[in-house]
Amino acid sequence: MQREFRGLNFDWITIILFLLLVGFGWLNIMSASHSGEITSYFDMSQPYGKQSVFIIFTLFLIVLILALDAKFYERFASIIYIISMLSLIGLFFFGKNVNGALGWYGVGGMTIQPSEFAKFATSLALAKYMSDLQTNMKTFKDQLKAVAFILLPAILILLQNDAGSTVVYAAFFFVFYREGLQQVYLVVAIFLIVLSVLALKFNVVVAVLVSAILIFGHHFFGQKKRPQIFQPIAILLVCILFSFGVKYFYNNILQFHQKDRISLWLRLEKDPTKLHDMKQTILYNLHESEKAISSGGLTGKGFMQGTRTTGKFVPEQHTDYIFSTVGEEWGFLGSALLVILFVALLLRILYLAELQKSTFSRVYGYCVASILFAHFMINIGMVMGLIPTIGIPLPFFSYGGSALWAFTILLFIFVKLDSNRINEW
Partner 1 sequence: MRKLLLLSIIVIVGLVFIARLFYLQVYNEDPYSLFDDNAIRKVYDYPKRGYVYDRNDNLLVANQPSYDVMFIPREVKAMDTLEFCNLLKITKEDFIKFYDKAYRYSPRLPSVFIPQLSRIEYAVLQEKIRKYQGFYIQKRSLRDYQTTIGANVLGDIGEVNNYIIENEPYYKSGDLIGKQGVELSYEEVLRGVKGIKFIQKDRFNRDIGPYKDGIYDTLPQPGKDISITIDSKLQEYGELLMRHKHGGIIAIEPSSGEILAMVSAPSYNPNLLVGRQRSRNFSKLYTDTIAKPLFDRSLKAQYAPGSPFKVLSALVGLQENVVTTQDQFSCRGGYYLGSRRLTGCHAHASPLSMNQGIAQSCNAYFVNVYRRIIDKYDKPHDGMDVWSNHIKSFGLGDYLGYDLKIGNKGRIPDGDFYDKWYGKNRWSSTYNISNSIGQGEVEATPIQLANMVAAIANRGHFFTPHIIKKIEGQEIDEKYTTPNHTTIDKKHFEPVVQGMFDVYNTGTAYSLRVPGIDICGKTGTAENFKKIDGKTTQLTDHSIFVAFAPKDNPKIAIAVFVENGYWGSRFAGRIASLMIEKYIKGEVTMNSMENWILTHSLEDEYAKPYSGKPFGINRQSALQVIDKITKDTVINPISNRPSPFNQ
Nearer to partner 1, 97 or 305 (CB): 305
Which residue of 90, 106, 217, 297 would you call a contact of partner 1, by CB under 8 A? Answer: 297
Choice between 61 and 192, CB closer to partner 1: 192
**Residue (39 or 305) nearer to partner 1, CB:** 305
Q: Which is nearer to partner 1, 71 or 312 (CB)?
A: 312
Any contact of residue 313 with partner 1 (CB under 8 A)? yes
CB of 313 to partner 1, least distance (A): 4
Nearer to partner 1, 245 or 385 (CB): 385
* Binding of partner 1 by 293 (CB under 8 A): yes
Residue 25: closest CA among 321, 397, 340, 306: 397
Give yes or no for residue 132 binding partner 1 (CB under 8 A).
no
37 φ/ψ angles, rounded to the nearest 5 degrees: -65, 150
- Interface pattern 239-278 for partner 1 (x via CB under 8 A): ----------------------------------------
Q: Does 168 bind partner 1 (CB under 8 A)?
A: no
- Nearer CB in complex with partner 1: 125/341: 341
Residue 366 vs 405, nearer CB to partner 1? 366
DSSP state of 393: P
**Given CA atoms 405, 410, 413, 414 in this order, what sign does their dihedral have?**
negative
Contacts 24+ apart (CB under 8 A), 83-89: 83/121, 84/114, 84/117, 84/118, 84/121, 84/122, 84/153, 85/118, 85/121, 85/152, 85/153, 85/156, 87/114, 87/117, 87/118, 88/114, 88/115, 88/118, 88/153, 88/156, 88/157, 88/160, 89/156
Neighbours of 136 (CB within 10 A): 13
Sequence-separated (6 or more) residues with CB below 8 Å from residue 353: 361, 362, 364, 365, 366, 368, 369, 414
**403: nearest Cα among 16, 15, 29:** 29
160 and 102 Cβ atoms separated by less than 8 Å? yes
For residue 60, the SS3 value is helix
Q: Which stretch binds partner 1 (CB under 8 A): 1-9, 86-94, 343-351, 389-397?
A: 343-351
Nearer to partner 1, 74 or 288 (CB): 288
Counts of helices then strands in the chain (DSSP H, E):
18, 3
- Least gap, CB of 173 to partner 1 (angstroms): 10
Burial state string for 183-222 with b = 16 or more CB within 10 A and e = fewer than 16: eeeeeeeebeeebbebbbeeebeebbebbbebbbeebeee
8-state DSSP, 106: E
Please select the residue that binds partner 1; options are 13, 237, 241, 343, rule is CB under 8 A.
343
Q: How far is the CB of 88 from partner 1 (least distance, A)?
A: 27
Give whichever of 117 and 169 is closer to partner 1, judged by the CB atom. Answer: 169
Closer Cβ to partner 1, 192 or 304, answer by number: 304
CB of 36: closest distance to partner 1 in angstroms?
Answer: 10
User: Which DSSP category does 132 fall into?
Assistant: S
- Give min distance, CB of 299 to partner 1, in A: 9
Site for partner 1 in 368-407 (CB under 8 A): 369-370, 373, 376-377, 380-381, 384, 386
Q: Which of residues 403-422 bind partner 1 (CB under 8 A)?
A: none
Residue 360 lies near partner 1 (rule: CB under 8 A): no
Q: What number of other Cβ atoms are within 10 A of residue 144's Cβ?
A: 10
Residues contacting residue 410 through CB under 8 Å, at least 6 positions apart: 119, 120, 123, 368, 371, 372
Binding mask 179-218 for partner 1 (x = CB under 8 A): -x-----x--------------------------------
Interacting residue ranges for partner 1, rule: CB under 8 A: 174, 177-178, 180, 186, 280, 288, 290, 293-298, 301, 305, 307-308, 310-313, 315, 327, 331-332, 335-336, 339-340, 342-343, 346-347, 350, 354, 366, 369-370, 373, 376-377, 380-381, 384, 386
